[in-house]
Structure 1
Amino acid sequence: MLIGGQMIPGDAATAPLVSVNPADGRVNHEVAAAGTDAIDRAVRDAAQAATQRSWREMLPPQRARILSRIADLMERDGENLAKLQMIENGKVWSECTAQVKSAAATFRYYAGVCETTGSELTPSRGAYLSMTVYEPYGVVGAITPWNSPLTMEAQKVAPALAGGNAIVLKPSEITPSTGLALGQIALEAGLPPGLLNVVPGTGQQAGAALVEHPLVRMVSFTGGTESGRRIAQVAARKLMSVGLELGGKSPHIVFDDADLDEAVEAVAGGIFEGSGQSCVAGSRMFVQRTVYDAVMRKLVDVACSLRVDMPDVPGAQMGPMATFAHRDRVEAMVESARAEGAQIIAGGSRPQGERLAGGAFYQPTVIAGIDNSARIAQQEIFGPVLCMLPFDSEEDLVAQANGTAYGLAAGIWTADYRRGWRVARALEAGTVWINTYKQLSISTPFGGFKESGLGREKGITGMRLYQQPKSIYLGMPRG
């Protein structure tokens, strides 16, 4: 673990985390797991570091210089960071290297935000000057998921540091190593010790202790909706601020006037990239009935042509699921849908052959013959499983697309931009793409409606998430 600027061993009473490569089932390494005592030490070290004048009074250009240096060092160590992610969660090499670049760009972006975003003068209504300044919370608890640890850790650590906080980062027990590497890079970049502590551990023990700790003033969490709900309950009791980026069941919509080949390629990428382990995966495909059969044929062809392979093989398009347990869960959900009458028109099984038999692989899967009320269409699968659903009218579409508890993202394909705009405004989703999908910018706020979360990451809003506004009035004598 990384606490107070030092790599320290775990408590002998807490079993270490065993990292398993999902591509072949082999053990990568063991990592110390934080118990409640380690969490307490990390939080107290962070609280002490957050109150140091050298950090609280550090000028924005100086803080920005550290963030920029972190970005430089991430790029320098990019191959190692990409490999750590690949062997722990099975993402293909091309995705891992792209995510290193994205994570470094996040630190560089928040260096700019830190240096250029100022306080605000507010319109006075009397003999005074009024302004709003933004103060850090102090200690932020950041809990990140296993599907994209490189980018998720950067999206929390960079803006929280830019906002003047200290952070205790609990990476997923599945992917602990990139967070530890980031912590060491931050120290090398000149971040004062204690401002970024990294404490791998389980959600039940380390995560719960971090959220409950009385010195933690804000928690940022990305993960499942049920875990987010439990964090929100604790936050309500503590009257603590939270940022929650949770689950999704995103609709991907194809109208009959769309470029069908382009739309099908985007739909396939939106659900099968990362083996479908993405919060914004377009897992429900709504197709206008007049082109439903044609789109189905095209989509099956694309799904069956995707190369499922070891993640380090050049040209691999899908690697394994992140864990064997998660593969089994996805597999069970597909089998349950099959038993309830769903048609599996592509995939629906593990790949054949001995070469991939030792890994947590699952084929790109397309399901038809269901309606939007089916369990498989309502539950977040978090795997390479697409549900195809027809629609007849715009009104019918909007009702179905909004007919889940989630509201994270959506995609629309149409040649009529007036219709695209109209439907985008009607959809209950935090992000809507029109004639594109999964385009994400660190400068644009991201978050969900309904049970997909609270608050917004990214953009200037992403730094303000980790700050609290303070109003200051200066009396101005008359005359």
Structure 2
Amino acid sequence: MNEKKLLDICVGGVWRPGRGEAYASVYPATGQPIAHLRAASVDDVHEAVALADDAFRRGEWAQKKPHERAWVLYRVAQMIRERAEELAQKQRLDNGKPITETRALVASAAATFQFYAAACESLEDSLTPARGDCLTMSVHEPMGVVAAITPWNSPIASEAQKLAPALAAGNAVIIKPAEITPLMALELAAICELAGVPAGMVSVLPGKGSVLGDALVRHPLVKRVAFTGGTRTGKQIARIAADKMMPVSMELGGKSPTMVLADADIDHAVNGVLYGIFSSSGESCVAGSRLFVARPLYAQFMDRLSDAARRLRVGDPADPATQMGPLISEEHRATVERYVALGLSEGGTIRTGGKRPEGKGCDQGYFYAPTIIENLSNTDRTCQEEIFGPVLVAMPFDDEDALIALANDSVYALAAGIWTRDYKKAWRIGRQIQAGTVWINTYKQFSISTPFGGWRDSGLGREKGRLGIQQYMEQKSIYWGMNAQPLPWANC
């Protein structure tokens, strides 16, 4: 690789090449490199953490009044909007999502910074009820250096959801983006500096998670880790965090059920199910990858759903008409293909898809057709393990009790969808489903104002929401003595 063309990374406010191996960021639609950079090394991790800790202790950011930090975050939001199309195109190249989706992700990132700017300047500590001769208060303080380890499927949105509240709380932040999608984290760091975040408060360390992420999590000066990614990695982080007594938040895997009841509006349900599993090429933690349809409706619904799936437009992510782009890599596509083969070996049959699409340039990148598999049991591996691709397993159900048991029969509990016209039934089922998010007559809708996270193997803690700032702060109680006489115990 030509050293002169290497992208700089951000180490404690210093923009320079990393000390690790050189590698290329590849456009999944063509398999061609779009950027070259040198990864960070473990030495870069130690340097970034030391510089971040120093920047935090100087207090130039942490000691600003909340409204002063908020003003900088508002500027970040505005600068993202000013560069929205440029950032959306770069995000498209970074991970192959269709341009309509990357535009939405950029808008989401801007909205996240705006929301946490408002939350920052309006967040209140509390005067707690007195229980003696003391004025009692509960306040929150920034932690120091926090690490944000982010995934490759929605980089700019995922990074904003960690970076914005952590900065709003007054912390220094080190972002470890997915190795194969480093570009958006670097852009956000540059925008933060231009907006007025002091140098050293944001670092970006691209490279292998098994090396850099591990070093970050273990570092004694890292006071908190926010992680989005696979469950196996999340559990390893949790084990390290336990030894450090360090708080973590983790948004992990999912095998989310979507349930179509006999009285559902079929038009709404078909569109919602398709969007829930096949948007983002199924590379989404909340993908509605297990479909349960009431048996009397099953044949009719599956005919409609399969016909619509075959009409989805798979192809060039630069085309605004494209609904599904490529998978992230050749390796990941091979994993999806192995799962489809597993489904067939378990007795499943392919209703549609199950192969690589042809034409429209799909032979150049890592494309895979929308796939629906039937005739499996919910206990089969294909129905229990996260595939993270455009593969839907469909099963009929007979009654409400059976449906709830099937939906909850998973180690994951991230999200679920319910389609019915009966609002009482929707409420009853929704309260019995074990999941961090339940959508009723919609799917995959998000709000930065509403907490998000999972149960069981789908994660720990929550992101988003007004109190999301406090996830990046330590609570402190203050007792202010108001007694007129000395404390009686010493009897002086």
TM range (shorter): over 0.9
Work out whether residues 264 and 299 of structure 1, in 8 Å CA contact, stay in contact via their aligned partners in 2.
yes
Distance across 2 between alignment mates of 1:235 and 1:144: 17
Distance across 1 between alignment mates of 2:128 and 2:398: 50
Deviations 1:405-447 (A, max 9, x none): 0000001011111111111110110000111111100000000
SS of the aligned residue for 1:55 comes to coil
User: Partner of 2:355 in structure 1?
Assistant: 349
- Greater shift in the superposed pair: 177-186 or 28-37: 28-37
Q: 2:179 aligns with which of 164, 173, 177?
A: 173
1:340 Cα deviation from its structure 2 partner: 2.1
1:15 Cα deviation from its structure 2 partner: 1.0
Q: What RMSD over aligned residues (CA atoms) do the two structures have, in Å? A: 1.0
Q: 2:250 aligns with which of 244, 257, 280?
A: 244
- The answer to whether the aligner puts 1:202 opposite 2:208 as a matched pair is yes
Distance across 2 between alignment mates of 1:425 and 1:177: 40
- The answer to whether the aligner puts 1:429 opposite 2:416 as a matched pair is no
SS of the aligned residue for 1:465 comes to helix
Matched AA of 1:462: G
User: Partner of 1:182 in structure 2?
Assistant: 188
1:295 Cα deviation from its structure 2 partner: 0.8
Matched AA of 2:409: G
Matched AA of 2:420: T
Work out whether residues 109 and 160 of structure 2, in 8 Å CA contact, stay in contact via their aligned partners in 1.
yes
1:256 Cα deviation from its structure 2 partner: 0.4
Matched AA of 2:317: P
Q: 1:6 aligns with which of 14, 19, 42?
A: 14
Distance across 2 between alignment mates of 1:16 and 1:140: 26
Distance across 1 between alignment mates of 2:399 and 2:332: 37
Q: 1:40 aligns with which of 46, 49, 60?
A: 46
Q: 1:464 aligns with which of 462, 470, 492?
A: 470
Deviations 1:352-381 (A, max 9, x none): 237211100000000100110011100000
Q: 2:461 aligns with which of 450, 455, 466?
A: 455
Work out whether residues 17 and 173 of structure 1, in 8 Å CA contact, stay in contact via their aligned partners in 2.
no
TM-score normalised per structure 2: 0.96
Distance across 1 between alignment mates of 2:163 and 2:294: 42
SS of the aligned residue for 1:54 comes to coil
Aligned 1:50-89 pairs, distance under 5 A:
50-89=56-95
Distance across 1 between alignment mates of 2:243 and 2:251: 20
Q: 1:147 aligns with which of 153, 171, 182?
A: 153
SS of the aligned residue for 1:226 comes to helix
1:314 Cα deviation from its structure 2 partner: 2.7
SS of the aligned residue for 1:98 comes to helix
Aligned 1:194-273 pairs, distance under 5 A:
194-273=200-279
SS of the aligned residue for 2:476 comes to strand
- Greater shift in the superposed pair: 287-296 or 53-62: 53-62
- The answer to whether the aligner puts 1:375 opposite 2:358 as a matched pair is no
In the alignment, structure 1 segments of 5+ residues that lack a partner are none
Deviations 1:215-240 (A, max 9, x none): 10100000010010000010011111
Distance across 2 between alignment mates of 1:283 and 1:208: 30
User: Partner of 1:322 in structure 2?
Assistant: 328
SS of the aligned residue for 2:222 comes to coil
1:478 Cα deviation from its structure 2 partner: 5.1
Distance across 1 between alignment mates of 2:395 and 2:164: 40
User: Partner of 1:130 in structure 2?
Assistant: 136
Tell me: CA distance 1:117–1:8, structure 2 relative to 1, closer, same or farther (3 Å): same
In the alignment, structure 2 segments of 5+ residues that lack a partner are 1-8, 486-492
Distance across 2 between alignment mates of 1:463 and 1:59: 15
1:453 Cα deviation from its structure 2 partner: 0.4
Distance across 2 between alignment mates of 1:426 and 1:43: 44
Matched AA of 1:153: E
SS of the aligned residue for 1:157 comes to helix
Distance across 2 between alignment mates of 1:464 and 1:354: 48
User: Partner of 1:279 in structure 2?
Assistant: 285
- The answer to whether the aligner puts 1:160 opposite 2:166 as a matched pair is yes
- The answer to whether the aligner puts 1:112 opposite 2:118 as a matched pair is yes
Work out whether residues 176 and 200 of structure 1, in 8 Å CA contact, stay in contact via their aligned partners in 2.
yes
SS of the aligned residue for 1:292 comes to helix
Distance across 2 between alignment mates of 1:255 and 1:445: 27
SS of the aligned residue for 2:39 comes to coil
Aligned 1:373-412 pairs, distance under 5 A:
373-412=379-418
- The answer to whether the aligner puts 1:438 opposite 2:438 as a matched pair is no
Q: 1:49 aligns with which of 41, 51, 55?
A: 55
Work out whether residues 255 and 287 of structure 1, in 8 Å CA contact, stay in contact via their aligned partners in 2.
yes
Distance across 1 between alignment mates of 2:123 and 2:34: 43
Distance across 2 between alignment mates of 1:116 and 1:323: 43
Distance across 2 between alignment mates of 1:187 and 1:396: 54
SS of the aligned residue for 2:60 comes to helix
Percent identity (aligned): 51
SS of the aligned residue for 2:61 comes to helix
1:78 Cα deviation from its structure 2 partner: 1.3
Matched AA of 1:103: A
- Greater shift in the superposed pair: 468-477 or 93-102: 468-477
Work out whether residues 120 and 131 of structure 1, in 8 Å CA contact, stay in contact via their aligned partners in 2.
yes
1:85 Cα deviation from its structure 2 partner: 1.4
- How many residue pairs get matched? 477
Q: 2:316 aligns with which of 297, 301, 310?
A: 310
User: Partner of 1:362 in structure 2?
Assistant: 368
SS of the aligned residue for 1:298 comes to helix
Distance across 1 between alignment mates of 2:220 and 2:63: 24
Work out whether residues 128 and 475 of structure 1, in 8 Å CA contact, stay in contact via their aligned partners in 2.
yes
Work out whether residues 31 and 176 of structure 1, in 8 Å CA contact, stay in contact via their aligned partners in 2.
no
SS of the aligned residue for 1:387 comes to strand
SS of the aligned residue for 2:136 comes to strand
Matched AA of 1:234: I
User: Any runs of at least 4 consecutive aligned residues in structure 1 with deviations exceeding 3 A, and if so which?
Assistant: none
